[in-house]
Structure 1
Amino acid sequence: MKIVWSKIFGTWAPVMATVLILTLWAGLPASSAEEDTTYHSLKLFVDVLEELEKNYVDGVDAEDLIHNSIKGMVENLDPHSSFMPPEAFDDLQDDTKGEFSGIGIVITTKDGILTVVSPIEGTPAYRAGITAGDIIIKIDGDSTKGMALWEAVNKMRGPRFEEVLITIIRDREPAPLEFNIKRDMIPMTSVRSVVLKPGYGYLRITNFRMNTVDEVEDQLIQLESDPEGLKGLIIDLRDNPGGLLDQAIKISDLFLDQGIIVSIKGRQEKNTQVYNAYPGDRDRKYPIVVLINGGSASASEIVAGALQDHSRALLLGTPSFGKGSVQTVRPLKDGFGLKYTIARYYTPSGRSIQAKGIEPDIRAVHEILEKKKEKPSVFDRMIKEKDLKNSLEPENTQDSEKEAKKEDRLLDTGQLGRDSQIKRALDILVSYGVFSRLNGN
């Protein structure tokens, strides 16, 4: 008997645990039709598990089957919820703190296809020419079909200076493209700035990490110390995939003295909160133009939406990604983790941008011209939140390290001068200054 019980509580432990839950539940009176339905569904799960254990052509591991079931259950909720094994959970911590070696891209899945949201500026992938909308079909020769996001991330990360082969399909390219990319340390400095011309500054934020607000403040102080003072500022959030909520709130607060920055509303009261702006130590009343595009997501949209709704900045570019949901991460036993959506967020005026994105005040001219002269392509050039499988439906809003090296901070002003959107933003700021003087302000 000891051998039998050892086998039952060893190999069959996950199944026994589920059966025990069902047995205990069955002994309780059903309080609703919903509980009764849940009981029968769990019973069906156990029946399928037992059938596969007995009769599947090859031997199966019950624990693996249960883990895969949990994975499927969570990932079918929405594109941003996931059940993470220990190695994936560890990688999640690296994304917002500490350095790691990789190629530097933000990826998602669209209809089960691994797709680039945006390359991170200054990384190997960015320098190699990987662009937003590229579809990754192979990593080191292995097909990405059905590959989990964390698996793809693990395959692209690795020892510094070692190469990884990425095969992609790109819109309007007749054949797959291959990129041999040498891994490197992904830069944690997320902010850079430059004076475009006396009195006019340019601030580039590539993502929102743990100390991004400190970096932004440092850069602003440098720009504001210009002998001409700061007459206007361009904040570039293009291809910024987002990051930490608290950093987006603090950065918005640098330019706002009062009012709502963002509110989040969930099914549970504890997941509903309003974040407000407060007067700061510095007077930052200069005009601002914020640049956004389809790669501006999440925390980027919070900053852009807050400054737009408070008439604190003019938005120039193309509609943003449209990720208007908030996730939390819960550690589980044995090193597993659960990331799931707890709320939607709303701009100060009450707009939910989920699957809609933020509309710029002025659309980039080149996008309008391209749409007129080009036929629709097989793949969207820029993936949006609404394109992702099981993305949350849009709502009707009526119803409801701190010190960076100097060479890292400075940008190539020649390259910026060839950027049509930056040039247009600068023209807007200069024109605003001229008209202000004409009006005696």
Structure 2
Amino acid sequence: MCLLTVAPCLFAQEDEDVSPYREMKTLARAVELIRQDYVDEDKTGYEELIYSAMRGMLEELDPHSDFMDPKDFKGMQEDTKSEFGGLGVVVGMKNERLTIVSPMEGTPGFRAGLLPGDVLLEIDGRSTEKMTLRDAVDKLRGEPGTAVKLAIGRSDAPKPINFNIEREVIKVPSVRGAKILDDVAGPKIGYVRISQFSEPTVKEFAKALSQLEKQGMEALILDLRFNPGGLLGSAVEVAGEFLPGGALVAYTEGRSPSAGRRYLAPGKGRKPRNYPLAVLVNGSSASGAEIVAGALKDSGRALLVGETTFGKGSVQSVVSLPDGSAVRLTTAKYFTPGKQPIHEKGVSPHVRAPMTGEDEARLLAERRREDLPAGSEKEEIGGVDDVPLQRAADALRGVLLHAREGTGGPSSEG
């Protein structure tokens, strides 16, 4: 989440032993030393040196904080208003390397075969070794119809893998795969996956649930694996489908009181859907997916199955400066209703059910196959051993069977 604000630059009150003016004097002395003695005079302009110092300060804080000169800041503002092309992949920093968190289903990056955990080594021939997260995202974006060349490092590949992918405007359905799982003799367990949280997600999701309910669905598996997040409001609304109106979904805290916010399930007094629920998560479930999973876990509303999530839960504020430049600064972190931090921690499942890298690749290949137009030649894919899905289905069957037998098993509220 990113907030845009305009604020004056003021020094906060400091301990008497720590004077910002004394430290600024040291910085000013270093700047003058560079201007006086550095060998290439054309690199010693005040603006260039000060901007570089600010970039360095912010990049040292975390991958999401950065400095934007007037040109970059203007470009960022235009990006938020205009339509641009991209690959449909979410990129993050992992072990100080630019890494693909997840490719979104139905997008160019997904169709090309990019995988979660792929390391970006080069973008259009330029090494990413010293590239910031913001720079990488900017380079992946571009005019729809233009192509970007990537060199990817993959754990099971002995050498880099090259891709040439055409950018598109990313507009894809976010709710997919709604169905009743095949179980002739057993209870009717529904399955839905959400690939990202966009503006129409909650309407698509509610429609899918209503259709499954008409088919007699008795319990639901919500698949948030490989979901990189998206719009916070959409994620809160999805969680609200299973929580009472007004229930806490997540909250933020920062050093400033103004950074604290509470996000509540919409529709106070509204009756939520109350059938048994299991949520699938993995290391590529990030941001909004983690907020949904954390809310449903802490409320006791769902059983989480899979692996610990990615751990991306911070808020960035953009503050404009007098010369037209701006600072993007991490000002708050997200917490689950149970006061658990999401950022760099992730949300842990009740039932740990990891998948092998090979099975994850097969699962994504199967999803790519589903996206091919009717009549296309579809590559045969070996069976996917989807252990998390099996474990979730088994758990829900147990809940439903206990309820039918009246043995006092878990209620439909958990």
Q: Same fold (TM over 0.5)?
A: yes
Q: Identify the structure with the greater helix proportion.
A: 1
1:318 maps to 2:307: yes
CA 72–80 in structure 1, closer or farther in 2 if over 3 Å, else same: same
> Is the 1:94–1:100 contact (alpha carbons within 8 Å) kept by the matching residues of 2?
no
Quote the residue 1:33 is aligned against.
16
- 1:227-266: CA deviation from partner (whole Å, max 9, x where unpaired): 32x3122211112222333333222222111543222222
User: Quick one: which of 50, 57, 60 aligns to 1:76?
Assistant: 60
2:239 corresponds in structure 1 to 252
Q: Which runs of 5+ in 1 are unaligned?
A: 1-20, 371-406
Whole-angstrom distance in 1 between the partners of 2:169 and 2:238: 26
Given the alignment, which residue of 159, 175, 178 partners 1:194? Answer: 178
Aligned CA distance change for structure 1 residues 247 and 333 (closer, same or farther; 3 Å): farther
Task: Look up the match of 2:327.
Answer: 338
Match of 2:159 among 153, 167, 175: 175
Corresponding position of 1:56: 38
Cα offset, 1:167, TM superposition = 0.5
Residues 254 and 280, structure 1, Cα contact 8 Å, conserved in 2: no
Q: SS in structure 1 opposite 2:285?
A: coil
Q: 1:369 to 1:71 in 2, by over 3 A?
A: closer
Query: Residue 335 and residue 188 in structure 1: after superposition, are their counterparts in 2 closer, same or farther (change >3 A)?
Result: farther
Aligned to 1:359: 348
Deviates more, 1:56-65 or 1:187-196: 187-196
Measure, in 2, the Cα distance between the counterparts of 1:273 and 1:255. 21
How far is 1:303 from its partner?
0.9
User: CA contact under 8 A between 1:238 and 1:295: conserved in structure 2?
Assistant: yes
- Offset at 1:345? 2.5
> How is 1:360-375 mapped onto 2 (pairs within 5 angstroms)?
360-366=349-355
CA distance in 2, matches of 1:56, 1:108: 36
Structure 1 stretches of 4+ with a deviation exceeding 6 A read: 93-98, 414-417
Residues 19-40 of structure 1, C-alpha deviation per residue, up to 9 Å, x if partnerless? xx99xx9xxxx985255x3112
C-alpha contact (below 8 Å) 1:318/1:367 kept by paired residues: no
Q: Could you tell me how far 1:111 is from its partner in structure 2?
A: 5.4
Q: Which amino acid aligns with 1:38?
A: P
Instruction: Out of 361-370 and 306-315, give the one that drifted further.
Output: 361-370
**Cα pair 2:240 2:272 within 8 Å, conserved:** no
- Among 209, 216, 221, the alignment partner of 2:210 is 221
Matched, 1:267 2:255: yes
Q: Give the match's secondary structure for 1:76.
A: helix
TM-score scaled by length of structure 2 = 0.78
Residue pair 1:96, 1:210 contacting (<8 A) in 2 also: no
Q: Output the TM-score relative to the length of structure 1.
A: 0.74
Aligned pair partner of 2:397 in 419, 430, 439: 430
- Number of the residue aligned with 1:164: 148
**Does the 8 A contact of 2:63 with 2:132 survive in 1?**
no
Cα root mean square deviation, aligned: 3.5
Mapped to 1, the partners of 2:396 and 2:382 lie a distance apart of: 16
The structure number with the bigger radius of gyration is 1
**Alpha-carbon offset, residue 178 of structure 1:** 1.0
Q: Which moved more, 1:308-317 or 1:67-76?
A: 67-76
- Superposed CA deviations along residues 187-208 of structure 1, whole A, max 9, x for unmatched, are 2533334113484332222223
Q: CA deviation at 1:367?
A: 5.3
Cα offset, 1:112, TM superposition: 4.6
CA contact (8 A) 1:160 1:184 kept: yes
Distance 1:325 1:108 in 2: 13
Partner of 2:368: none
Q: Distance in 2 between matches of 1:329 and 1:341?
A: 9
Deviation at 1:98, TM superposition (A): 6.2
Q: Relative to structure 1, is the Cα distance of residues 344 and 156 closer, same or farther in structure 2, using a 3 angstrom cutoff?
A: closer
* Stretches of structure 2 lacking an aligned partner (at least 5 in a row): 1-8, 183-187, 360-370, 373-377
Letter in 2 for 1:181: I
Deviates more, 1:252-261 or 1:297-306: 252-261
Q: Does 1:47 align with 2:33?
A: no
What is the CA–CA distance in structure 1 between the aligned matches of 2:194 and 2:76, rounded to whole Å? 21
2: distance between equivalents of 1:312 and 1:415?
A: 35
Structure 2 match to 1:128: 112
Amino acid at match of 1:246: G
Match of 2:228 in 1: 241
Partner of 1:286: 275
CA distance, structure 2, for counterparts of residue 349 and residue 206 of structure 1: 25
Asked whether the equivalents of residues 97 and 210 of structure 1 are also in contact (C-alpha less than 8 Å), the reply is: no
